[in-house]
Amino acid sequence: MAEFRNQTISYLTSKFREIGIRPVSKHGQNFLIDMNLLDLLVRSANIQKDDVILEIGTGTGTLSTRMAAQAGHLVTVEIDPHMATFAGEELDDFENVTLLNYDALRNKNNFRPEMIETIKEKMAEIETDHFKLAANLPYNVATPIISNLLRTDITPKSMTVTIQKELAERIVASPGTKDYSALSVWIQSQCRCELVRIMPPGVFWPAPKVHSAILQIEVEPERRAAIPDLEYFHEFNRSLFFHRRKFLRSVLQSTYKGKLDKAEVDQVMEQGGLNPSARAENFTVDEILAMCELFRQRMQEKQD
């Protein structure tokens, strides 16, 4: 079994010089050099021997080795071929690791199908339904990764990630605040979220221009199962916040243009006791879920 390596600036700069590579900013390559925080990320993920772990952004493999030592299987994805080779050497002693060298995202709304199939295969191999995301996510793809994992047919039990502090604050935001958004509602409708730790730029190399955070997201199966049509809710929620400062009546009329006439929209709003002059940003998650269901049922009635 390989020993865990402490990832220091001197080690990274020396190793990168030796193999002739540099961190690539477009891939969000900022490496965590504070091993206490890296260990906190691993502990927060609560990795067990019956877990299949997905890591997106393998980097140097320093986090990967620690997770592989605890997991049933680690599927780790790295877009950069040079970094994948580097990490592959670090992970060579682990038989329970699958390293994939490609972009995890097919586009901003969908994962690469081969990655999802690999996760399913590994879950079948170790006979488990326990799947988790744990990663120091590249900041430029953190939002689609977190959001889209809740739209796949392999729901993670949890997502423990290092992301930009501003994004973490948006995810945990409360109604009526500037950070409250469609993303806040989408994730909180199905999950319990905890901001574990704020991290200054200096704990990474190269140092990013922003603060970061470790965010723990626990999926709540009962809340998720209570949403009748997840994809419908996802689209309704996005439409609601597209013009977050507009009055609710105007937003809903625009959303259902060509599907419901203005009188029908008003009727559904009256049925739900919705204030036409309210704004999306002031509704709670449960209120938005209830609003969505009223309109979904009305649309279903029209189609029957």
Annotated binding site for S-adenosyl-L-methionine: 30, 32, 57, 78, 103, 136
Whether the link from the prior residue into 206 is cis, omega within 30° of 0, is: yes
Phi first, then psi, for residue 55 (nearest 5°) are -120, 125
Residues 6+ apart with CB under 8 A from 169: 179, 195, 213
User: 190: how many CB neighbours lie within 10 A of its CB?
Assistant: 22
Element housing 62 (H / E): helix 62-68
Q: CA nearest 52: which of 38, 66, 70? A: 70
Q: Binding site: which residues?
A: 30, 32, 57, 78, 103, 136
Q: CA nearest 205: which of 25, 49, 72? A: 25
Angle at 26 between CA 30 and CA 163, to 5 degrees: 45
